[in-house]
Amino acid sequence: MHNPLALFTTEVLDALLAQGFTIFVRQSYPRGKDHFDTETKEAFLITPYKDIGEANQHFQHIQFDHRKYVYQVHRNEEVEKLKTAAGQPAGYKVYVDKLAAAEWRASVQLGAKIGNYIRVHTKWKARDGGITANLFLHFGELMLRISNGNEEIKISLSEVERL
């Protein structure tokens, strides 16, 4: 599984707090655990919010994740927990909802899978224009925005990877 997200660090936490983020949603992030890594027990994804309503929507979207949690920085003990997570405790990998690279590009393998998806699920033709694919997150799920210049589709990255 492709994991394009950056690790959650103390520098990232400090920057997010300085930018006014006050609510952080934690969820399981299986994509962050390399199956060859025997040291990592579990991986998490932290998504920062400024708006409690958006954070609540995210939390409801992941209602069946038994590891979900909401940190609120007005509580000192919650800030300490975030600092612990940002320190990458032994046995865990904690990621933030930010891409590790400044510009995301699909690998050759993923590009081929995107092409297969387009052939199977759309009526797009090569003459319709260049195909672009952008990665984004929606409530902690990696999604692809694929466009031919005229139309756009949004699909989960995991669905494309299964092809």
Q: How much is the pLDDT for 126?
A: 64
Q: How much is the pLDDT for 35?
A: 81
Per-residue pLDDT band for 104 (boundaries 50, 70, 90) equals confident
Backbone angles phi, psi at 66, to 5 degrees: -70, -10
3-state helix, strand and coil shares in percent for the chain, rounded to the nearest 5: 35, 30, 35
Per-residue pLDDT band for 85 (boundaries 50, 70, 90) equals very high
Averaged pLDDT score across all residues of the chain: 93
Identify the sign of the CA torsion 97, 98, 103, 109: negative
Token pair belonging to 38 = 């025997």
Strand order in the sheet with 152-156: 132-138, 141-147, 152-156
User: Which segment, 25-29, 33-37, 103-107, 146-150, is predicted with the most confidence on average?
Assistant: 25-29
- On whether the CB atoms of residues 19 and 73 are closer than 8 A, the answer is no
Token pair belonging to 46 = 């932290």
Q: How much is the pLDDT for 128?
A: 60
Look at residue 109 and tell me whether its pLDDT is greater than 70: yes
Domains of the chain: which residue ranges? 5-99, 108-161
Q: Quick: pLDDT tens for 14-59.
A: 999 999 999 999 999 999 998 888 899 999 999 999 999 999 999 9
124 vs 125, residue with greater confidence: 124
